[in-house]
Amino acid sequence: MLKRGSTIGVFGGGQLGRMMAAAAAPLGYRCIGYAPEGDNVAALLCSDFVTAEWDDEAALADFASRCDVVTWEFENVPVATARAIPQGGIFPPPAALETAQDRLNEKRFVEVLGGRTAPYVPVDSRADLDAALDTIGLPAILKTRRDGYDGKGQWRIHSADDAAIDLPAAPTILEGFVTFEAEFSIVLVRGQDGEMRVWDSTRNIHEDGVLSASQFPAGPQIEAQVDEARALAKKVAQKLGYVGVLTLEFFATDDGPVFNEMAPRVHNSGHWTIEGAATSQFENHIRAVAGLPLGNTRTVAKAVEMRNILGSDIESAHALLDDGDTHLHDYGKSDIREGRKMGHVTRLARR
């Protein structure tokens, strides 16, 4: 258990790191961030921030020496960087990054644990793509195996004309389309002692590949599939020896929950927990990596909606505060781009 005044290092400088730092302070901890040059908004709330490349051995060694434990706020931290931190000094374990960073490995990992996935075929060449389309059929979606988020690194293929694309240099995977009624997430936290707690699931609404809103209650179809999805998420956490917040995304289908992807970190679909749950995903992540008892994850409102604020809409976001029990989170990003997550707003209907 980390003593009062300890330092938690955070790989990454985005809004998730910012919200981790905000959650750590009331528990008596300080955060130091580490990331390459960029719009590192976490620096505004961290006690200090190291701007250096992921492979800067001297900077990493100095950073590690200043931290009592290290975590991360996004899943594209290089595995080698995470492994540079001595074992037992970083949570979640780097194996979680290694699994989640490759979509092919991720799906195979989940299948071994009994999870249901979309049909998929690895693609490394034009011949592979042609054969994969024969196997999967249309429509399908081609994705880079690594990197890519919020709809990036993805190509929807509805016809032979759509398949006439320039393949990226990186390995890809072709997935069959899943017919689904809704999307939802399982957001859980696992402590160092193996205890696991799970938040209520929301209905996740996406627009152009980006999460637009998360709504609770999620509706009867999702509610009927949550237990099966939770069971799989717990198997994943157990197998990885996970510590911290872990998120698995699912499609709710007529055949039950279909696994989409996992995020070994706090997650956009869990932002509603800041005001909507007894303990937020950010506080419980800090509790887990610090070795503290986990907090209660019960929902404290009868209805919750979280909506992302994209691009220039952040300029008028304060007007949203006129609407009842509403909470605004401006991430403080200076680089405003259309489609970029600039903040979120959460509305609650109290019990």
Q: Tell me the average confidence (pLDDT) per consecutive run of 10 residues in the chain, 351 residues long.
A: 97 98 98 97 98 98 97 96 95 97 97 97 93 94 82 83 85 95 98 98 94 98 98 98 98 97 98 98 99 98 98 96 93 95 95 64
State the total domains in the chain.
3
Is residue 103 a part of any domain in this protein?
no
pLDDT of residue 149: 61
CB 251: neighbour CB atoms within 10 A?
A: 21
CB 103: neighbour CB atoms within 10 A?
A: 23
Task: Provide the residue range defining the domain that includes 125.
Answer: 119-176
Judge if 189 and 326 occupy the same domain: yes
pLDDT of residue 323: 81
Judge if 27 and 159 occupy the same domain: no
Judge if 235 and 336 occupy the same domain: yes
Distance of alpha carbon 201 from alpha carbon 336, whole angstroms: 30
Looking up residue 229, the CATH number of its domain turns out to be 3.30.470.20
CB contact set of 58 (below 8 Å; sequence gap of 6+): none
Is residue 101 a part of any domain in this protein?
no
pLDDT of residue 350: 78
Distance of alpha carbon 51 from alpha carbon 59, whole angstroms: 9
Distance of alpha carbon 188 from alpha carbon 196, whole angstroms: 7
pLDDT of residue 151: 60
pTM for this model (two decimals) = 0.95
Which of 97, 327, 274 has its CA nearest to residue 284?
274
Judge if 205 and 344 occupy the same domain: yes
Tokens of 142: 């081609």
